Chains A and B, each alone.
Chain A
Amino acid sequence: MGKPLNIIVCGSLVPDPLQTLEPVETPQGPGLKNEQMLPSVLDPWAACALYEAAALAKARAGSKVTLVALGPKAKLQQLMMTVAQKAPFQLVAVNAPAGGFTDAKATAAALAKAIQAIPGLDLSSTLLFGGCASASRDAGVTLQFVAEALGIGEFFMAVDELKLADDDTFTVLERVEGGQYQSSTCAGFPAAIGWATGSLPEPPNNPQIGMMNMRGVMPALMKAAVADVGVGGISYAKAEVPAAKRDTVVKKDMTADAIAAEIVEWIKQ
């Protein structure tokens, strides 16, 4: 059995995908209408990273998972009510705006600073996890910036599988074009992994884990450092929701034969 793992997961909140988003101008730059009121979820790919981290930590005794989340403190607290029931972790919170319009570089700098401040951080046993992109900015570079700032020189993107051997080597499958994976083997830590969906389902809520996590979550939120994260060097000229509504024709009373004939004709056009 290898040494205990220190898995750091970077993940934050995004608007619930079922919500309608409308861009508005704010004094700080573009934002979302009623942004503070929008229900949030843990970023889906970061959530996959968290579940994979929890599974890896469970398989290796003494391992721990730290979730480093950047977002408005009040919304993070709300988010933790559900996320804390999913997997055991320690929270490091950074109080700063999170959203699609903020600059990835500033976000990454704040995350890296928060990680470096984790007491007893030992990179030689660390796996840095995160989503391969966020469902807000969708830049796909934030985790790379964090890894670079921490001096982690092994990076894997859009990973669906990580198999860890007892000698601390691990093999990852990264998504590449054409429905294929690139398989790579890395000889030890540290390494950064940008997760795609992975292979684990969302864990059911576990109130016991939730209560255990919340003992650390509330103090972490209380002492969340404030970070100066904004649009950075980006100058937005326009943010819009292009019209996407179609005039749907609903065909109810056609036979399967007639529908099939129509579909085949449409395909061949």
Chain B
Amino acid sequence: MKIAAFNLSGQGSFAQDAPAIAEAVKSSGADIVLLPGTSRVRRAVGAAAMRAGAEVDTNVVDLSIDGEAVTAQRWLYRQRILATFSRAARPWVIVTDPSLFAGICEKVGAAPAALDPAPAASSRTTVNGLVAAAGGGESTIRPDAKLLFVAGAGWTKKQADGATHLDEAAATITGFLAKSGASLGSSKSLVDMPEAAEAFKFMSHMNQVGQTGATPRHAKGLSTCCHGEEPHVVGWRFIGERRAVNLDANCGWAQGKADVLYVADAFEVMKKVNELL
């Protein structure tokens, strides 16, 4: 069985990358083609596989090869059901979770080759470049951070004095991110709030974790002012140790979704945490 692996880094367009990936699949003559599920690959791999007459599966988290038998694992229903499956058809393009690509290549003995697609011969699309998703300077999304810090909608609620303290909340959150080096996540309810969009300019829908957001991989996760409802917690599937700070002792985190739930005011706790850090 021939296995090939390709890497595609940097920025590109569909018209540039789809033919290049299709050609790589065809010319490699491989039965199994591995690619990392980066944004660039995901934009073009479906069409590329179709053009190359290949089958394609994305979000693969594990791959086993035993002789001619290839078995893959991927999550369905947004990290709720883990499926183990195979396909008889070849070539088979397997797109892995980006963070698992190197490990899976090593496991099956494939050395990734870099793809360098030429500019598209004809396309109506011009790539203008990169822009930051949120204002406020430095990106708050840090995939390599050890800790995920999730801010929930509770940061925008009225406090004991009957008023909201959005500026104070923003300062506490950004202060913690600066001192801890954590990556910032958010619940959907927070990023959907117009008042949060105004006050928390360092945050956008890109920070959203859960059903319609990201499923990051960090060793630890700390949730604050978030109820731990199922649509949000499915995004925590790959977070190792989990702690939460919430005023509600019966919130979702208490129902077996966190290792430790502190029933406390996150405003107060996180200010103290920042002092200690």
A-side residues, CB < 8 A to B, are 14-15, 17-18, 21, 23, 30, 44-45, 48, 100-101, 104-105, 135-145, 147-148, 153-158, 160, 171, 173-188, 191, 196-197, 199, 201, 233-242, 244-252, 254, 256-257, 259-264, 266-267
Contact = CB atoms under 8 A, between A and B. Distances in A.
Given A173-B131, A249-B260, A259-B245, A154 B125 contact: yes
Nearest to B275: A260
B273 A175 contact: no
A153 B11 contact: no
Nearest to B241: A266
Interface of B: 11, 13-15, 18, 38-40, 42-47, 49-51, 55-59, 71, 75-78, 80-89, 98, 123-134, 139-141, 143, 147, 180, 192, 204-208, 211-213, 220, 222, 229-231, 234, 237, 241-243, 245, 249, 253-265, 268-270, 272-273, 275-277
A141 B45 contact: yes
Given A179-B132, A182-B11, A233-B55, A260 B87 contact: no
B260 A248 contact: yes
A237 B85 contact: yes
A221 B260 CA distance: 49
Contacts of B234: 17
5 contacts: A154-B123, A179-B141, A183-B127, A246-B256, A249-B259
B237 A237 contact: no
A248 B84 contact: no
Contacts, number: 267
B130 A176 contact: yes
A197 B190 CA distance: 14
A262 B253 CA distance: 18
A100 B88 CA distance: 20
A140 B139 contact: no
B76 A141 contact: no
Contacts of A142: 46
Given A157-B43, A259-B245, A238 B83 contact: yes
Contacts of B264: 254, 256, 259
Q: Which of A18, A144, A240 has the most chain B CB atoms inside 10 A of its CB? A: A144
A138 B253 CA distance: 25
Nearest to B261: A250
Nearest to A147: B47
Contacts of B260: 248-249, 251
Given A145-B46, A267-B220, A156 B14 contact: yes
A257 B265 CA distance: 11
B269 A259 contact: yes
A23 B81 contact: yes
B124 A138 contact: no
A234 B87 contact: yes
Contact of B131 (A157, A183, A250): A183
A196 B188 CA distance: 13
Contact of B269 (A183, A240, A246, A260): A260
Contacts of B263: 250-252
A252 to B, nearest CB: 5
A73 B254 CA distance: 39
The majority secondary structure among interface residues of chain A is: mixed
Nearest to B255: A248
Contact of B59 (A138, A171, A237): A138
B258 A246 contact: yes
A105 B40 CA distance: 21
A260 B249 contact: no
B129 to A, nearest CB: 6
Q: Which of B77, B124, B234 has the most chain A CB atoms inside 10 A of its CB? A: B77
Given A237-B85, A251-B263, 4 more contacts: A138-B78, A157-B14, A244-B237, A260-B269
Nearest to B132: A180
Given A45-B212, A184-B13, A140 B261 contact: no
Q: Which of A48, A158, A246, A261 has the most chain B CB atoms inside 10 A of its CB? A: A246
Given A138-B78, A238-B83, A263 B273 contact: yes
B142 to A, nearest CB: 8
Contacts of A18: 229-231
Nearest to A143: B46
Nearest to B75: A138
Given A17-B230, A179-B133, A260-B269, A139 B57 contact: yes
Contacts of B80: 21, 241
Contacts of A186: 124-126
Given A21-B77, A260-B273, A153 B45 contact: no
Given A173-B131, A256-B268, A179 B140 contact: yes
